Structure 1
Amino acid sequence: MSSTKCSRCGRQIDAREPQCIWCGAPRPSFGARFREMLRGGLDAGFVVQAIIAANALFYLLSLLVSGRRGFDMNPLSFLSPDQNSLLLLGATGTIPVLELGRVWSLISANYLHGGLLHILFNMMALRQIGPWVSAEFGASRMFVIYTLSGVAGYVASFFAGIPFTIGASASVCGLIGALFYFGKSRGGNYGAAVSREVSGWLISLVLFGLIMPGINNWGHGGGVVGGIVLAKLLGYQERSHENSAHRLLALICVVATVAVLCYAAYFSLAYRFS
């Protein structure tokens, strides 16, 4: 059952009822409910859980669509979908964008992974960093940073000529970049502590990218820079609280993400099982 808040008495009521059962006031209009959502913003815990759930769902979907059968016992490629399924579901890069015209893949690629370890590492990082960014920036700004810094990372890798790429790491790197900006901007003992910890993560990212083959360092770097720029533009809670503009931008990111993922899922399933 969906519920909404009565505009007169403030109590929760069934959204299907024509009027409030407590005070008799008429049901809030769509415009009133929309304004209420903009005032209330997103719930931090729900946002992180929803992102993780969407990533897990699309990973399972990629395995379903994949033509690969059997198990590869190599831990780096264990339970890996094939490239065709990832392309159908919205992998990005120069090939999908230039040859197929899939600009929308700049969003969908952030929800695709190439194997079990790939998604586990990214989701563990998100589970640790996401709530921290939400606490300092607010959940709406966190989702905006997550979405747009992921796009920025994949735009950077596109211009670097990366033909095919996936993963939530560009978006996660955007959250790291936002925390780095926060620590430097805030200053003081707490800001210095944040900067030190985040700097350690950034150094680890660089070293990991140099050692491990197949890492999209352009995506990581673009995500970090995107997170820093977005954090500066949007601000953080100690400087300015979330406002309706932040919440509206988050809503636009939510709608765009849901629309892209639904289209990618429908297209891939229709193609695979037609």
Structure 2
Amino acid sequence: MLYSHVTLLMLRVMDVVTKTSVQQSARMLVAEIPGDIQIGALFPMHRQIAGAEGCGAIWEQYGIQRAEVALLTIQELNKILPFRLGISIRDSCWTERIAMEQTIAFLREGVTQCSCCQTAGCQKKANPVVAIVGPAKSSTTIAVQNLLQVFRIPQIGYAATTTDLSDKEQFGYYLRVVPSDAWQAMAISQLLMHFSWTYIAVVYSAGNYGEKGFEAMERLTHAPGIDVCIAHAQKVKTIGENEEFENVLLVLNELNPRPQVVGN
């Protein structure tokens, strides 16, 4: 089983490596503060292109602002720490393939460091990363964790909320700092009870986050004491075209009687 898992992982890594091209060099740029101990970070500096795994427009709120906060936090911590903490920030572009590509770049740097300078012309490289923060999306985080745990590198999730990542047997090197979707589903069910909404439609996104969240909410609607009917459930692409969402609205408007709409 372990051999099969590692084999599939290596095939995935090779797929990522072979798709790397010169045109991707712009997103391989790194924002870095060097330190005695170096951590890595994956933020979506660019949006994902709809229907593709490429980098689109700059994403200020989810990427640029988070990177700026991370850099400022490191600078403030270095004022009080007895050692110098460093950070290397890379762009995940909100896609699984690019996040894997950037993670491989972190790992590649870690195994190509020179430990000391023995000649006058040698320049010691930055320290390898000891842990990685991010990425943001649940499915992307799982892909990165599957790679990092092979090398026993810890990963800290700041936004991924899928319940799968709470499984310590499967993801032993992952630490989350946000609640899982199970709590979100409980909060939604309490809102339904508070407003006496017993007939609902659910719109959820494709991928681990939306699908697992819907499964958790579906289980809660069948729990004792909760009388809620899911009249319609619609899965949409994480990054879809306007036409897709317009079709969803048409379907919801045709439902009779019209249910309350819950998004996930």
Question: Structure 2 length as normaliser, TM-score?
Answer: 0.22
Higher strand share: 2
Higher helix share: 1
Structure with greater contact order relative to length (CA < 8 Å, sep ≥ 6): 1
Question: Structure 1 length as normaliser, TM-score?
Answer: 0.22
